[in-house]
Chain A
Amino acid sequence: MSPGSADPTRVPAVVVGAGPAGMAAAVALAETGVPVTVLDSYPHPGGQYHRPRAVGPGAGRAGVVAAPTGAGTGTGDDPTVAAFRHHLAVGTVHLRSSTTVWSASAEEGGCTLRLTTGTDPAAGTAAHAAADPDRDAALLHAEVVIIATGATDRVLPFPGWDLPGVCTAGGAQALLKGQGIRVGTRAVVAGSGPFLLPVAAALAEAGTTVAAVAEAQHAAVIARAAPRIAGHLDVVTEGLGYARVLARHRVPVRHATAVTAAAGDGRVEEVTLQRLDEQWRPVPGTEQRVAVDAACVSFGFVPQVGLPALLGCALTSDPVWGDPVVAVDSHQHTCVDRVFAAGESTGVGGAAVAVEEGALAGLAAAHALGAIDVGALRDRGAPHRRSRARKQAFAATLGRMYRRGDGWVHWLADDTLICRCEEVDHASVRHAVTALGAVDQRSVKLTTRCGMGRCQARMCGDAVAALVAHHSGAPADDRAALSTPTVLAPVRLRELAALSPEYEEP
């Protein structure tokens, strides 16, 4: 809250998410003199990229990470993190950690955000309510809102993917960086995309035997695009660094290979590695069983667009991935007045893109509030616009390098779970499409409950869209039209009741 403000629930600017995009946006806004409130779901700022160590010396400092690696995960010197820390220290940025927006609406003159505090409703109210009176505010009215909600791991289902020990590569990285805990003693890292390498390297450095890195994409497809990324020396150098770590630990990196099944008694004990053809269809007869106690899987990232959808921001389909992403103009402005978006929610591009988009969103928000004039908006934004264009182009190239084939659906068995929450299997989804006339993700959900559970299709939505296209023979539907949740996070009845003026704490 800004000191001296009459009503602590009314603030000029709210940034949702304290990852690279959110931190850059908050810094840009704060530097124009606008007091900024940053909301973040986690106990410490930094997001997934700058995930702080939660355990041991330096715990809680954004950018101080626990991963004991030389593999490029140290982010303590990051200029965005440093600037954000400075603004936190001098009070120009106010951070509300462990705070999640569960509902929001856009009105004349701004947005109303309804908040739940605590990493979980039960843990939160008890732990934080007394410590900070600001935390009692379950409601915020903001004149401008910047959405920087990031992304979650994209995982494609396979037989046994719900066994304990199978986890997302991002989850394994979070455990290692945040908690200093290895996900297993012997693991495979599988899926597709450049993110597999740092996760495998970090696990290997931490002492886990990485039996294989399985990259689904064919090496030839990646090599074809390689000349276009050769100019981005920093990224190439980073990639080579991971490759060196993996070579030192004798970790085999296999292309055109996927984990097509996991098996075990109550937990993963072995995975099946299998060759893929150019369309990512598993090649029969190439199965190889590998004993592991962990399988870390990632096929890139899925943008989190629940909040912008709820605020009425138009979504569009990502040109590379097909995911619903927030539509923004060159100022990161959404179609809703005074609502901006930056980072992965506008299309996955990585932290380097996110900080440029965040800075531009912050400047545009400052201009919307009258804190800077149009000349300052243009001049201060110019370097960020140039950098954004260059980095976005690079991210798109990278996306095309790892564009997935449609053949992965052939590694699904009939009884493979698609929706983990509602336990809907592949045969049920296929039946909905081929026999019940389901034509899109929404009608599959209404006929099977697929995507209706606690995760709200965060884990399965992408796979369901692909399955509808596969089984109907029709091109993938426009998923941008289908993603309007009503509630963004589980909320306790007492938190709902507390919004009523008549409510008294029992």
Chain B
Amino acid sequence: MPARDQRGAAPDPTDLRVTPPAEGSGPVRGDDGPHGGRGTPFTFRHDGRTVTAYPGETIGAALLAAGVRALRPSGFDARPRGLFCGIGACFDCLVTVDGDGPVRACLAAAAPDTEVEVHDVPRQR
């Protein structure tokens, strides 16, 4: 089922976050609301806007949940690229974090108050 509000309201069909099943260590903070069980949310900055993330989320996952699919322009032809392999093998999802990197958004954990920027490095043939 999609993220279900603990109060029984209809889930938002556009919300990509799935509520984790209540398994293992019991209730954690942030257990109420549509993303119950994910812990206490925090924010980081991406390309001039504020993005919400939950503990353990990767930068790529948090951006996807925020509706950001195009993560960077390709070097030669500036074609938009996003999460592709999702496991660190393809290097399409590169971003910079606080000016350092590039890092793979599918692997790097989101961190509070960081500045995530588009890795835009034009190349010429």
Contact = CB atoms under 8 A, between A and B. Distances in A.
B106 to A, nearest CB: 7
A179 to B, nearest CB: 4
Dominant SS among interface residues on chain A: loop
Interface string A144-157: 00000000110000
Instruction: Please tell me the size bucket of the interface on A.
Output: 35 or more
Contacts of B89: 152, 455, 458-459
Interface stretch (A59-67, A190-198, A397-405): A59-67
Contacts of A454: 91
A165 B22 contact: no
Interface stretch (A168-176, A375-383, A468-476): A168-176
Interface string A299-311: 0000000000000
Interface string B72-83: 001111011111
Contacts of A43: 109
Instruction: Please tell me the size bucket of the interface on B.
Output: 35 or more
A48 B39 CA distance: 24
A177 to B, nearest CB: 10
A267 B84 CA distance: 12
Interface in B39-94: 39, 54-58, 61, 64-65, 69-71, 74-77, 79-92
Contacts of A54: 56-58
Interface string B21-40: 11111111000000001110
Contact of B65 (A60, A153, A181): A181
A399 B108 CA distance: 34
A152 B87 contact: yes
A474 to B, nearest CB: 29
A488 B64 CA distance: 28
A174 B79 contact: no
A48 B88 CA distance: 11
A290 interface: no
Interface in A33-77: 41-43, 48, 53-61, 64, 66, 68
A459 B21 contact: no
Contacts of A119: 88, 103-104, 107-109
Interface of A: 41-43, 48, 53-61, 64, 66, 68, 119-120, 122-123, 152-153, 162-168, 170-172, 174-176, 179-185, 205-207, 266-267, 420-423, 453-455, 458-459
Given A120-B107, A123-B108, A167-B85, 10 more contacts: A54-B56, A55-B55, A152-B87, A170-B86, A171-B86, A183-B16, A206-B1, A206-B18, A207-B2, A267-B70
